[in-house]
Structure 1
Amino acid sequence: MENADEETATVSRVPTKSAFRFNSPLIQVSLMGLVCFCCPGMFNALSGMGGGGQVDPTAANNANTALYTTFALFGILGGGIYNLLGPRLTLAAGCSTYVLYAGSFLYYNHYHHQAFAIVAGALLGVGAGLLWAGEGAIMTSYPPPNRKGTYISLFWSIFNMGGVIGGLIPFVLNYHRTHAVSVNDATYVTFMCFMAAGTLLSLAILPPSDVVRDDGTRCSNMKYSKVSIEIVEILKLFLNWKMLLIVAAAWASNFFYSYQFNNVNGLLFNLRTRGFNNVFYWGAQMVGSFAIGYVLDFSFRSRRRRGFVGICLVALLGTGIWAGGLVNQLTYSFNDLPENRLDFKDSGSDFAGPFLLYFSYGLLDAMFQTMVYWVIGALADDSEILSRYSGFYKGVQSAGAAVAWQIDTKKVPLLNQLIVNWALTTVSYPLLLLLVFLAVKDDEKSVEEGDMKESEFVSVNSTIAKSY
């Protein structure tokens, strides 16, 4: 992982004419957004269908358990692998596993054998770790230092549109299959085509030495931390009191996906309506991230006060949304499922309440994760330190998700699942408030080290949010 003071290191200045050159940071970051649009964006849409688009979610649950187990490990190790292989090989290897994962459900559609899906899920966990490590390195090193917030916002807008477009695919391809229980083959094939396109696009990502910024500077000769140093520093995180205060939020941040995707969208709505709902679920992510990001960046001059207000706002909104979820959950269970699943066109007013709840879940997801990333970003300015903090967060997050998918496989009562999700998010709020009180300072000088201006730094971190 590059050092913060190396981010602006240059070896030459070359003449530039346009920001729209292929080797400009703008084009390269946009390409990275398109890669994630095609791969994790489509994966999000597929997962949001509930059970991977199948009537029985067992195969998808087991595949996701394997996925997040390996992701927990390679989310931390991915940075070192990226340093060895470079962007093209790292990203292409990571993206190819998404194609395999979607293909495993095409296979399952015909043969109903779980083994392929589980192995593909485990491989996807490896690939996702590589992909997101590469994405993080590119976001750090390619943009000019004073425009990172703008470039990361651009990336996340393109990426999240993948979930929106991905939601339209099963909606359109299964529109007339109102009584179908699993998506058709064309749905999986279309997802695979997008993911394959993302794999090919990843080969267009240039290494830092070939990227020329608008001022004519190049990024090259970046120094990376040694493997031995990273291992020691990563192990120290498990004894770091700041990270221990983040554990609850990290564990909760992907824990609720299995409940929301399988047991709300998957159980209450028919096939075509699940795709319709996903369009709005991932669209809500964009709205939620922007809204809480504005509060965390611009609501008060004091950074600490902005943190307090942001956390309290998410806590209040989250309490209201989970309370609405409780009211909805009391109407059905595994042993008392609705006789007719809701349809956006035919169910009339019965559709509105559950749809609004599912939309609100997407809104809360983005706000919660953006809030956590902002808190992490406020703990330090140095990119090496922040990369380790983020890796710890992704590792704990993925471990929690692995457990959650397995809980759903065991058919734990739905009410119990909702209560656990609500409790996990609720416990995290006072811990985050305590962390902000103890570790976040109001001046522009970092708690740890570095000299990045607060306005730029907060903007960078407040635009980062899920996933996968």
Structure 2
Amino acid sequence: MADSKTPDPSSQLPDGTDAQGAVVNMEAYRETVPLWKRAWQHSLTQMILLSIQAFCGPAMSDAITGLGGGGLATPQVSNISTAIRYAMLAVVCFLGGPIVNKIGVKWALVIGSMSFPIQGSAYYCNSKFGNQWYLILSGAISGIGTACWYVAEAGAIMTLAPSGARGKYLALWIVSRNLGQLVGGAINLAKNHQEGADGGVTPDTFIAFVVIESIALPFALLVTPFERVVRSDGTKIVTAETLSTKMEFRRIAKTVTSRLIVLSSGWALWSFFYTGTWSTYLGTYFSVRARALSSLISPFFCIIGCFGLGFILDMKSLSQRRRAQVGLYTVVILNVGVYIWSIVMQAKFNAHNPGHIDWKDGLYAKSFLPYFFVQTTGPLSQSYMYWLLSSFATDAQENVRNGAAFRCIEAVGQAIAYGMNTQTTSNPLIGFCVTFALLGVSLLPMVMLVNTTPDRIPADVVAEEQDAARRKMEGV
């Protein structure tokens, strides 16, 4: 390991500036570095590469789920497989910070992207041959690989963006994840658009998913290490000295017991909890082509909502703490409205079972709209939380650890949600009420956390101090 007091030549830019948190001399950088390399190392390019992987992997997984039980006639086996997947995700994410910081973000993304096609292939085999054991086994296998990707992704999305554009960068990422619903719905609608198609989707549908999931790997290989990234504002990413494996694992206890993670844990548990119940809702009450149409059109409002929140979180006229407060109340109010609507709708369904609703039925619009809006309010909740977490980090490795802890709790919530829905497949009202209650429980701790948001990102302060020290040593 290089002496932390002596700059590592491999970490220096061609203009001689230290890559560890320095402000880059952009004029010299443009003169000495080829255009293709500058474009490749640009923070936005790296965020786009990450977003493409999010589209090919998690977004396709969400698209399969959005078919309603993975497009199966009954969603119970899909819920079991998904519950196992998120249980494995929780375990690996708990250990993910040390693992990713040791092997590097890029290689964690590569390992994860290799596991993406497993889920699609399992649904294909189940649809084609009826072997549900592989569907359940795939939950465990893909859970391990995807956990490595999730931890690396969480660290990256909180680290890549310049401080004044974090909201917009996170909106780009969350929209990419949710565009999978659009593509998945289009694929399924094209193959299952005939009236009366009631049951599982066609096997060919899952071949299309496998192909898209496989595309993530080459884009993961194009990711560059953090120390080589140059942000659009000319800053470098602050990275800490590499720790030993023993020290990394010691940091787990420090991270999970930190005030940041303890106060945000309720929000993390809640933030993805809705997915299991809505998958069950679609599978129980909608025809295959109605599910496909729902998946196709639900992401459109998400794009507007996420970029709208991004602009609020990036407003320079407000302090960072004030932006955090405005963002929290915006997200909470929208979610409360959606869940009240959902509970009322499900109570009506419990009183009068509508059967399988098709898009030509008069009930379709009223029963679909809560799902349409939750596909926006849910992503808003996740995008907001990662913006908030990144507001507290001092370096890239801390972002990875915080992201791993948060993702672990998210996965626990999803495992519980899908496990619960294996027992309540005929009554999503329980899931709606539990999700609404979790939001209420998480709100007070989140208010306490948001009210302590620093007015400046600690990592930015560290970067400025490092740059000032470098300039002083050089006599600038």
Whether these two folds match at TM > 0.5 is yes
SS of the counterpart of 2:349? coil
Question: Aligned in 2, Cα 1:375/1:34: closer, same or farther, shift over 3 Å?
Answer: closer
**1:327 equivalent in alignment to 2:327:** no
**1:195 equivalent in alignment to 2:210:** no
Cα distance, 1:216 vs structure 2:
11
Question: Aligned in 2, Cα 1:159/1:253: closer, same or farther, shift over 3 Å?
Answer: closer
- Aligned counterpart for 2:354 among listed residues 320, 324, 338: 338
SS of the counterpart of 1:182? coil
- d(CA) in 1 for partners of 2:331, 2:235: 41
Question: Aligned in 2, Cα 1:396/1:216: closer, same or farther, shift over 3 Å?
Answer: closer
Cα distance, 1:175 vs structure 2:
1.2
Which residue of structure 1 lines up, in the alignment, with residue 306 of structure 2? 289
Cα distance, 1:21 vs structure 2:
6.6
Deviates more, 1:119-128 or 1:22-31: 22-31
Which residue of structure 2 lines up, in the alignment, with residue 456 of structure 1? none
Of structures 1 and 2, the larger Rg is shown by 2
- d(CA) in 1 for partners of 2:437, 2:234: 52
SS of the counterpart of 1:338? coil
Which residue of structure 1 lines up, in the alignment, with residue 445 of structure 2? 431
Deviates more, 1:285-294 or 1:364-373: 285-294
Question: Aligned in 2, Cα 1:19/1:180: closer, same or farther, shift over 3 Å?
Answer: same
- d(CA) in 1 for partners of 2:374, 2:334: 10
Which residue of structure 2 lines up, in the alignment, with residue 357 of structure 1? 370
Cα distance, 1:103 vs structure 2:
0.9
- Aligned counterpart for 1:120 among listed residues 116, 138, 147: 138
Deviates more, 1:185-194 or 1:415-424: 415-424
Which residue of structure 2 lines up, in the alignment, with residue 386 of structure 1? 399
SS of the counterpart of 1:330? helix
Question: Aligned in 2, Cα 1:154/1:407: closer, same or farther, shift over 3 Å?
Answer: closer
Give yes or no for contact 1:9–1:222 (8 Å, CA) kept in 2. Answer: no
What does 1:369-408 correspond to in 2, within 5 Å? 369-408=382-421
**1:269 equivalent in alignment to 2:272:** no
- d(CA) in 1 for partners of 2:289, 2:34: 48
Question: Aligned in 2, Cα 1:146/1:421: closer, same or farther, shift over 3 Å?
Answer: closer
- d(CA) in 1 for partners of 2:317, 2:238: 38
- Aligned counterpart for 2:264 among listed residues 246, 262, 278: 246
Deviates more, 1:250-259 or 1:72-81: 72-81
Give yes or no for contact 1:61–1:405 (8 Å, CA) kept in 2. Answer: yes
- d(CA) in 2 for partners of 1:386, 1:214: 20
Question: Aligned in 2, Cα 1:390/1:28: closer, same or farther, shift over 3 Å?
Answer: closer
Question: Aligned in 2, Cα 1:219/1:11: closer, same or farther, shift over 3 Å?
Answer: farther
TM-score, length-normalised on structure 1?
0.82
Give yes or no for contact 1:93–1:127 (8 Å, CA) kept in 2. Answer: yes
Cα distance, 1:74 vs structure 2:
1.9
SS of the counterpart of 1:329? helix
Question: Aligned in 2, Cα 1:11/1:431: closer, same or farther, shift over 3 Å?
Answer: same
Which residue of structure 2 lines up, in the alignment, with residue 316 of structure 1? 333
Cα distance, 1:406 vs structure 2:
0.7
Query: What letter matches 1:165 in structure 2?
Result: V
Query: What letter matches 1:323 in structure 2?
Result: I
Cα distance, 1:287 vs structure 2:
2.6
Cα distance, 1:198 vs structure 2:
2.0
- d(CA) in 2 for partners of 1:29, 1:375: 18
What does 1:29-428 correspond to in 2, within 5 Å? 29-86=47-104, 89-136=107-154, 138-139=156-157, 153-176=171-194, 178-207=196-225, 223-263=241-281, 265-298=282-315, 301-333=318-350, 337-339=353-355, 341-344=356-359, 346-347=360-361, 349-411=362-424, 413-428=427-442
- d(CA) in 2 for partners of 1:139, 1:318: 23
Query: What letter matches 1:338 in structure 2?
Result: P
- d(CA) in 1 for partners of 2:204, 2:95: 35
Unaligned stretches of 5+ residues in structure 2: 16-28, 465-476
TM-score, length-normalised on structure 2?
0.81
Question: Aligned in 2, Cα 1:85/1:444: closer, same or farther, shift over 3 Å?
Answer: closer
Cα distance, 1:187 vs structure 2:
0.5
CA deviations on 1:274-311 (whole Å, 9 max, x unpaired) are: 12211233333333322233333328623333333322
Cα distance, 1:214 vs structure 2:
8.7
- d(CA) in 2 for partners of 1:324, 1:181: 27
Question: Aligned in 2, Cα 1:245/1:141: closer, same or farther, shift over 3 Å?
Answer: closer
Cα distance, 1:120 vs structure 2:
0.6
- Aligned counterpart for 2:14 among listed residues 12, 15, 32: 12
Give yes or no for contact 1:23–1:212 (8 Å, CA) kept in 2. Answer: no
- d(CA) in 2 for partners of 1:398, 1:415: 22
Which residue of structure 2 lines up, in the alignment, with residue 466 of structure 1? none
The count of aligned residue pairs is 441
CA deviations on 1:114-172 (whole Å, 9 max, x unpaired) are: 32112111111111112223334555777778876665554444444333222211111
Give yes or no for contact 1:11–1:218 (8 Å, CA) kept in 2. Answer: no
SS of the counterpart of 1:332? helix
CA deviations on 1:58-79 (whole Å, 9 max, x unpaired) are: 2111111111111112224334
Q: For the aligned residues, what is the CA RMSD?
A: 3.5
SS of the counterpart of 1:178? coil
Give yes or no for contact 1:97–1:120 (8 Å, CA) kept in 2. Answer: no
Unaligned stretches of 5+ residues in structure 1: 454-468
Give yes or no for contact 1:19–1:214 (8 Å, CA) kept in 2. Answer: no
- d(CA) in 2 for partners of 1:131, 1:51: 24
- d(CA) in 2 for partners of 1:380, 1:210: 19
- Aligned counterpart for 2:456 among listed residues 434, 441, 444: 444
- d(CA) in 1 for partners of 2:185, 2:409: 28
Cα distance, 1:244 vs structure 2:
2.0
Deviates more, 1:97-106 or 1:149-158: 149-158
Cα distance, 1:105 vs structure 2:
1.2
Question: Aligned in 2, Cα 1:22/1:120: closer, same or farther, shift over 3 Å?
Answer: farther
Give yes or no for contact 1:248–1:427 (8 Å, CA) kept in 2. Answer: yes
Deviates more, 1:282-291 or 1:60-69: 282-291
Cα distance, 1:251 vs structure 2:
0.8
- d(CA) in 1 for partners of 2:456, 2:235: 27
Question: Aligned in 2, Cα 1:152/1:184: closer, same or farther, shift over 3 Å?
Answer: same
